[in-house]
């Protein structure tokens, strides 16, 4: 066994035994240390184990946590497994192993690897989302959502993945494809459970402002919520068969009411047309045919493709433009989305690209009403910029921004805000998740009874009956029938109605994995609580999370859901804050040969072989040195030798230790030493691990040239390296301190972080850069604080610079720029 392996094993054991990384969760008082909750996104365990990218993320999070611990914080760095969900289940299906059994295997393997990587995890608080003691509270959350009216059932067109055989939330559909398996997502009309996240759209958007988060994640959330301020305008309908004219209206949502005079037709979505059929509109055969075909295309996921030719049909109905009383046709077309606004638009071809394209194709009138110069033009493309109104009656000549409210008022419209965000679809027709803890009673439904008036027949499982355990069933394959495999298990679904005691049926769908992970950071602080999801006093001390690090790919998924659940908890009075993560930083992605690591590409790099070959410390330092933490990069093992050398040289420094503790550094080295203490601390704080390490290398290079290394320098060097290489530094530290037996408080990882002396960083001399016309011609040694006059004198005394002046050696420069303590530039 290599020496490093022995050291790793030894310290893992001793740290664990001494509880070096266990914070004081029990007491609700702060004590003499401030709490620091250092959280990483917990992994979903796959059978092939951790890959190098996750190791880089986790050790990166740990480096930060170790700095905080040494800065005197009571640091809490928990770990767990997000083991429920389609991903784990799909893998189980593939290898033909039952998910429940597979979970035990992957759990073991994952924890083995997570123990190896040298993180200061608080192992006493680990959790797994598939543990009934955990998901009992996930179900509890669902029950509360139901009781408070935030969970509801609705039949609507939902995303359906034909390969995963389940519905998906909007957030899990990426470019029309299933986030998990890449299959084309279809639309199915199904009755499903939803959470009313849209109730919180405004708050979720507003509170983004003050969050200290990676900017790109904030932007992604903002765009996802998609607040759009617009106006709603009603167009009376004429020519509806069998209906009086102007009895019905079509309501449109627009952000451009200023173009109302240019609205030359109306377009409604096929879905809206279908609803009009349902309330009695008898459309012609060709219209009905178009609607059917369009809906079918949508069902196959063929809408929303920009390259698709526009299709549509005239409905036979007309509408009255409220601005000019003009009669305009109502068209049905699938370029209008039903899920946004009202499912109907006023088409202004002159000023909207899509309307323009449609008008051209179907030869509909195009009327210019906004003009950059007040004149009419022959439009070849739509004009979407600002301008003044023309062809708009009494509004001609006014600025289009001003016209927005004026025309809205004139047409009897009103201001309206729309969001792109839609409610969170929670149901999954799969096996490997927490059963949704609801009971449905047909008798009660018929009688109009139930726990909530708006949902007759539905009852939440009582708290004392939680968890509703996921049964072990042999036949766990997804069915594709729109129901979960649990629907086949009578023992599971047969239950008495909590209301009338008649035979009733359990909900057989399970909930979305993202519900499991939306609240896990609350549970970490109190994993053994059997009375509540978490203790509110502990929450007061430990939450919100101080630092959260994870992948940016969760910007609109996990991070949005966690914020939503937190806001809900706040509303319920469980907590006194409304944002879960004070600070969030996205890490970069590690690729292999330029491609994302994935099983299908076969380019997954396993950390095991590297750890075995080079040791954990080398692995950690290398991964931190490879690229800026927030950037990521391509994994190559090329540079790893450099790190092996670096750590070996650190080990050798011991032989250079000064004979007595009084010895000090020379002035130049002393300065570098203090600069290093400053920079390493600051760099870790900013997650600039690569530059922190390079600074340590610079210092080491210097120390090696010295005849001896003073004790304090050696001590502090080890401390600065400790977050990166926890094993080696602990070993060297204990040896240096000549410790007989290991005690928690003697661990290097609980020592005070080095403090630099800012007076020692001050330079008294510097390189004065001499430029002629902006080109560097010389550098001269000069005292700090030198005046412009003295600097000039210094330059003129220097032989090598004389030739640049005109005439050489004489003449005065046209201009002199002097930057104190940096440079002097002569323009000649």
Partner RNA sequence: GCCCGGGUGGCGGAAUGGUAUACGCGAAGGACUUAAAAUCCUUUGCCCUAAAGGCUUGUGGGUUCGAGUCCCACCCCGGGCACCA
Tokens matching residue 447: 């009688």
The reply on whether position 100 binds RNA by CB under 7 A is no
* Rounded Cα gap, residues 506 and 488, in angstroms: 12
The reply on whether position 224 binds RNA by CB under 7 A is yes
The reply on whether position 823 binds RNA by CB under 7 A is yes
How many residues in the shown chain lie near RNA by CB under 7 A? Answer: 82
Residue choice 379, 443, 455, 552 for contact with RNA (CB under 7 A): 552
Residue choice 100, 379, 698, 761 for contact with RNA (CB under 7 A): 698
The reply on whether position 641 binds RNA by CB under 7 A is yes
Interacting residues with RNA between 595 and 614 (CB under 7 A) = 596
The reply on whether position 174 binds RNA by CB under 7 A is yes
* Rounded Cα gap, residues 438 and 562, in angstroms: 22
In 3D, which of 250, 135, 119, 317 has the Cα closest to residue 723? 119
Nearer to RNA, 540 or 645 (CB): 645
Nearer to RNA, 664 or 776 (CB): 776
Residues in a beta bridge with 657: 709
* Region near RNA per CB under 7 A, out of 101-109, 135-143, 469-477, 693-701: 693-701
Cβ–Cβ under 8 Å, residues 78 and 123:
no
CB of 770 to RNA, least distance (A): 9
Nearer to RNA, 189 or 701 (CB): 701
* Rounded Cα gap, residues 83 and 43, in angstroms: 8
Write the DSSP assignment of 181-227 as a string of letters: T-PBPEEEEEEEEEE-GGGGHHHHHHTTTT-EE-HHHHHHHHHHH--
Residue choice 57, 129, 511, 825 for contact with RNA (CB under 7 A): 825
**Sign of torsion over alpha carbons 707, 710, 711, 714:** negative
Strand order in the sheet with 595-596: 595-596, 589-592, 632-634
Interacting residues with RNA between 773 and 792 (CB under 7 A) = 773-776, 779
Nearer to RNA, 460 or 768 (CB): 768
Interacting residues with RNA between 342 and 401 (CB under 7 A) = 343, 345, 352, 354
Helix (H, G, I), strand (E, B) or coil at 723: coil
The reply on whether position 269 binds RNA by CB under 7 A is yes
Residue choice 243, 642, 663, 761 for contact with RNA (CB under 7 A): 642
* Rounded Cα gap, residues 362 and 6, in angstroms: 78
Could you give the dihedral angle defined by the CA atoms of residues 667, 672, 678 and 681, in that order, rounded to the nearest 10 degrees?
-140
* Rounded Cα gap, residues 630 and 64, in angstroms: 13
* Region near RNA per CB under 7 A, out of 111-119, 241-249, 406-414, 622-630: 622-630
Nearer to RNA, 358 or 581 (CB): 358
What would the x/- binding string for RNA be over residues 294 to 333, using CB under 7 A? ---------xxxx-x-x-----------------------
Nearer to RNA, 10 or 196 (CB): 196
Helix (H, G, I), strand (E, B) or coil at 238: strand
CB of 133 to RNA, least distance (A): 34
The reply on whether position 593 binds RNA by CB under 7 A is no
The reply on whether position 478 binds RNA by CB under 7 A is no
Interacting residues with RNA between 175 and 204 (CB under 7 A) = 175
Tokens matching residue 555: 């910007």
* Rounded Cα gap, residues 167 and 153, in angstroms: 14
Which uninterrupted H or E stretch holds 316?
strand 312-320
The reply on whether position 813 binds RNA by CB under 7 A is no
The reply on whether position 750 binds RNA by CB under 7 A is no
User: What is the length of the chain?
Assistant: 828
In 3D, which of 514, 402, 507 has the Cα closest to residue 461? 507
Nearer to RNA, 284 or 631 (CB): 631
Could you give the dihedral angle defined by the CA atoms of residues 159, 217, 526 and 541, in that order, rounded to the nearest 10 degrees?
-150
* Region near RNA per CB under 7 A, out of 367-375, 569-577, 686-694, 717-725: 686-694
Nearer to RNA, 705 or 745 (CB): 705
CB of 218 to RNA, least distance (A): 9
Q: Tokens 């412009």 correspond to what residue?
A: 788
Angle, alpha carbons 203-205-208 (nearest 5°)? 100
599 is in an annotated binding site: yes
CB of 380 to RNA, least distance (A): 16
Instruction: Report helix angle 52-70 to 667-685, nearest 10.
Output: 120
Nearer to RNA, 739 or 776 (CB): 776
CB of 747 to RNA, least distance (A): 27
Q: Which residues are annotated as a binding site?
A: 599
Q: From the annotation, which residues make up the binding site for ATP?
A: 599
């Amino acid at each position: 066994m290599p020496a490093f392996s022995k050291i790793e094993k030894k310290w893992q054991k001793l740290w664990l035994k001494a509880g070096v990384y266990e914070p004081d969760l029990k007491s609700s008082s702060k004590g003499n240390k401030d709490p620091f909750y250092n959280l990483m996104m917990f992994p979903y365990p796959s059978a092939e184990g951790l890959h190098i990218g996750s190791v880089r993320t986790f050790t990166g999070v740990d480096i930060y946590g170790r700095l905080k611990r040494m800065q005197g914080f009571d640091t809490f760095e928990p770990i767990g497994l997000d083991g429920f969900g389609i991903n784990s289940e799909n893998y189980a299906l593939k290898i033909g192993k039952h998910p429940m059994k597979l979970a035990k295997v992957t759990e073991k393997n994952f924890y083995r690897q997570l123990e190896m990587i040298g993180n200061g995890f608080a192992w006493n608080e680990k959790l797994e989302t598939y543990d009934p003691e955990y998901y009992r509270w996930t179900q509890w959350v669902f029950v509360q959502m139901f009781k408070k009216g935030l969970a509801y059932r609705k039949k609507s067109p939902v995303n359906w993945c034909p390969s995963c055989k389940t519905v998906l939330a909007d957030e899990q559909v990426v470019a029309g494809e299933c986030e998990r398996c890449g299959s084309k997502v279809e639309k199915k009309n199904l009755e499903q459970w939803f959470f009313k996240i849209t109730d919180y759209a405004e708050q979720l958007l507003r509170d983004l402002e003050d969050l200290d988060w990676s900017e790109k994640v904030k932007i992604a959330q903002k765009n996802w919520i998609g607040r759009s301020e617009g106006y709603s305008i009603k167009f009376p309908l004429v020519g509806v068969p069998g209906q009086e004219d102007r009895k019905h209206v079509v309501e449109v949502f627009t952000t451009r009411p200023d173009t109302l005079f240019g609205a030359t037709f109306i377009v409604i979505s096929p879905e809206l047309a279908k609803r009009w059929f349902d309330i009695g509109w008898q459309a012609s055969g060709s219209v009905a045919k178009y609607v059917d075909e369009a809906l079918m295309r949508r069902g196959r996921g063929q809408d929303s493709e920009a390259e698709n030719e526009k299709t549509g049909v005239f409905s036979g109905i007309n509408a009255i433009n409220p601005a000019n009383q003009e009669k305009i046709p109502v068209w049905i077309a699938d370029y209008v989305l039903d899920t946004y606004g009202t499912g109907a638009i006023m088409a202004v071809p002159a000023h909207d690209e899509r309307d323009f394209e449609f008008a051209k194709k179907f030869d509909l009138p195009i009327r210019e009403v906004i003009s950059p110069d007040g004149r009419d033009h022959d439009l070849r493309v739509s004009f979407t910029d600002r301008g003044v109104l023309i062809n708009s009656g009494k509004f001609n000549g006014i600025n289009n921004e001003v016209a927005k409210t004026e025309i809205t008022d004139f047409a009897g419209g009103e201001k309206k805000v729309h969001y792109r965000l839609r409610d969170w679809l929670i149901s999954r027709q799969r096996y490997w998740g927490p059963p949704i803890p609801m009971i449905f009673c047909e008798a009660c439904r018929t009688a109009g009874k139930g726990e909530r008036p708006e949902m007759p027949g539905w009852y939440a499982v009582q708290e004392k009956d939680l968890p509703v355990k996921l049964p072990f069933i042999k036949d766990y394959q997804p069915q594709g029938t729109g129901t979960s495999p649990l629907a086949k298990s009578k023992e599971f679904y047969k239950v008495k109605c909590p209301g009338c005691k008649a035979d009733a049926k359990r909900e057989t769908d399970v909930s979305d994995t993202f519900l499991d992970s939306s609240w896990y950071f609350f549970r970490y602080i109190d994993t053994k609580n059997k009375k509540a999801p978490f203790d509110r006093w502990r929450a007061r001390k430990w939450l919100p999370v101080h630092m959260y690090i994870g992948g940016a790919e969760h910007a609109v998924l996990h991070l949005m859901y966690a914020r939503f659940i937190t806001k809900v908890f706040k509303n319920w009075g469980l907590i006194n804050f409304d944002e879960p993560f004070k600070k969030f930083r996205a890490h970069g992605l590690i690729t292999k040969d330029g491609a994302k690591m994935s099983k299908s590409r076969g380019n997954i790099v396993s950390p095991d072989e590297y750890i075995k070959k080079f040791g954990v410390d080398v692995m950690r330092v290398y991964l931190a040195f490879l690229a800026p933490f927030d950037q990521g990069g391509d994994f190559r093992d090329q540079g790893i030798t450099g790190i092996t050398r670096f750590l070996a040289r650190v080990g050798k420094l011991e032989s250079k230790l000064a004979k007595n503790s009084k010895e000090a550094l020379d002035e130049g080295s002393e300065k570098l030493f203090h600069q290093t203490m400053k920079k390493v601390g600051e760099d870790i704080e900013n997650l600039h691990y690569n530059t922190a390490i390079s600074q340590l290398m610079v210092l080491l290079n210097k120390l090696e040239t010295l005849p001896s290394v003073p004790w304090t320098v050696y001590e502090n060097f080890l401390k600065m390296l400790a977050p990166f290489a926890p094993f080696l530094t602990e070993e060297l530290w204990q040896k240096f301190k000549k410790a007989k037996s290991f005690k928690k408080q003697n661990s290097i990882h609980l020592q005070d972080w080095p403090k630099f002396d800012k007076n020692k960083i001050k330079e008294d001399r510097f390189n004065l850069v001499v430029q002629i016309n902006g080109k560097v011609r010389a550098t001269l040694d000069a005292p700090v604080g030198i005046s412009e006059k003295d600097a000039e004198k210094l330059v003129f005394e220097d032989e090598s610079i004389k030739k640049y002046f005109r005439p050489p050696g004489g003449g005065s420069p046209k201009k002199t720029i002097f930057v104190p303590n940096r440079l002097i530039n002569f323009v000649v």
